[in-house]
Amino acid sequence: MTPPPGITLAGDYALGGAPLFRANLHLRAGEWTCLLGRSGTGKTTILRLLLGLPTGGHFAGQIAATDGASLQNRVSYMAQSDLLLPWLNVLDNVCIGARLRGTIPDRARAAELLRRVGLSGAAHHMPRQLSGGMRQRAALARTLCEDRPVVLLDEPFSALDAGTRADMQDLAAQALAGRTVLLVTHDPAEAARLAHQIVLLSPQGTAVWPTAPQSPPRAIDAPDTIASQSRLLAHLRCAA
Ligand SMILES: Nc1ncnc2c1ncn2[C@@H]1O[C@H](COP(=O)(O)OP(=O)(O)OP(=O)(O)O)[C@@H](O)[C@H]1O
């Protein structure tokens, strides 16, 4: 894996000719940035711009990695929908990246990731046999299997029960340590736990929000984590 770069996305985005947001976002190299904002402000759009995917609108600005190299083939993405292929079993879905590239999948690594997300017993099940939370865990395993220096996650833990969510947050924090991660979330507790940097997106622009002093992942019940989460929630409620 090449060293994870920092990434800057700065510019104006318009939809149907109307401005949607102005972004000045810097993802620090090897750190987790959590992006929060009201529904429809453009968080997923920012992920799609970073991926070079169509968005339906127009972006005038620049997207650049700090090492000057293209982001192509350096990014893995977990979308809001799990995008599991219905005709492949769970293990083959986790290996799909290698299959699409025409390389030999590392099935042992995929099986180990399935074990870590608690899906060993479902490796040979078809996606239709899984619950929503199980599908989300399978999609997380697929994302982790890609082993890319930059990882974009769009509400990856939203379908999980509270206990599994905390476990998957720990797993992702450990598995993606040292990578440049952008996590879109609506959950202030998740951001307070996982972020090196919290960024809020609104029609007025992007704003950096303070994090607790400890390095992530922070203990759920640490007073600083709870205080950080409460302040963020209060702010988001006021901004709503
Ligand atoms: N392909 C598209 N074509 C046209 N408009 C789109 C397209 N995709 C998204 N939009 C619009 O762009 C705006 C921003 O959408 P986006 O999904 O980025 O918001 P979001 O902040 O991620 O929302 P949420 O929190 O609900 O997921 C919305 O008004 C949405 O309807």
Q: Tell me which residues of the chain have a pLDDT lower than 50.
A: none
Which residues contact ligand 1 via a Cβ below 6 A? 15, 20, 37, 39-45, 55-56
Instruction: Specify the pLDDT at position 240.
Output: 63
pLDDT digits (tens, 9 = 90+) for 206-235: 999 999 999 999 998 999 999 999 999 999
Query: Could you tell me the residue ranges of all domains in the chain?
Result: 12-74+148-239, 84-147
pTM: 0.94
CATH superfamily of 12-74+148-239: P-loop containing nucleotide triphosphate hydrolases (3.40.50.300)
Taking CA atoms only, the protein residue closest to ligand 1 atom 4 is 56
Instruction: Specify the pLDDT at position 212.
Output: 92
> What's the ipTM?
0.96
Q: Compute the distance between CA of residue 179 and CA of residue 14 in angstroms, rounded to an integer.
A: 30
Do residues 206 and 25 lie in contact, with contact meaning Cβ atoms separated by under 8 Å?
Answer: yes
Question: How many angstroms does the Cα of residue 111 sit away from the middle of ligand 1?
Answer: 34
Picking from 96, 54, 76, the residue whose alpha carbon sits closest to that of residue 4 is 76
Instruction: Specify the pLDDT at position 1.
Output: 73
Provide DSSP, 35-103.
Answer: EE--TTSSHHHHHHHHHT---SSEEEEEEEETTS---TTSEEEE-SS----TTS-HHHHHTHHHHHHTS
Query: Do strands 197-202 and 205-209 pair parallel, antiparallel, or not at all (unpaired)?
Result: antiparallel
Instruction: Specify the pLDDT at position 155.
Output: 93
Strand partners, 78: 153
